[in-house]
Amino acid sequence: MTIGAQVKGCYSAIKSVEASLQLLTAKTNEQEQQIKLMEAERMITEIKNDLRHQVIQLSKEEPQYQ
């Protein structure tokens, strides 16, 4: 498995985590828990965006593995 494929897999997993956090935040009634979940979601979103840039960069460097 190429590095590009591994990063793409990680990107997909992070997107799933982000969606799960969004659902949990929507279902939680306690404000303190919502704040913590939103903070976690914000951090995951930043990581997802960084990984997206990595996927783009790697696809330029490893076009034969597309």
Whether 23 is in a domain gets the answer: yes
pTM higher than 0.85: no
Whether 4 is in a domain gets the answer: no
Whether 53 is in a domain gets the answer: yes
Given this model, what pLDDT does residue 4 score?
Answer: 81
**Which residues span the domain enclosing 34?**
14-60
Whether 1 is in a domain gets the answer: no
Q: Per-residue confidence at 59, pLDDT binned at 50, 70, 90? A: confident
Whether 66 is in a domain gets the answer: no
pLDDT tens for each residue of 3-46: 888 889 999 999 999 999 999 999 999 999 999 999 999 999 99
Give the ranges where the chain is alpha helix by DSSP (H).
3-27, 31-61
Question: How many domains does the chain fold into?
Answer: 1
Q: For Cα atoms 29, 44, 17, give the angle at the middle one, nearest 5 degrees.
A: 70
Q: Which of 6, 18, 11, 3 is nearest to 51 (CA)?
A: 11
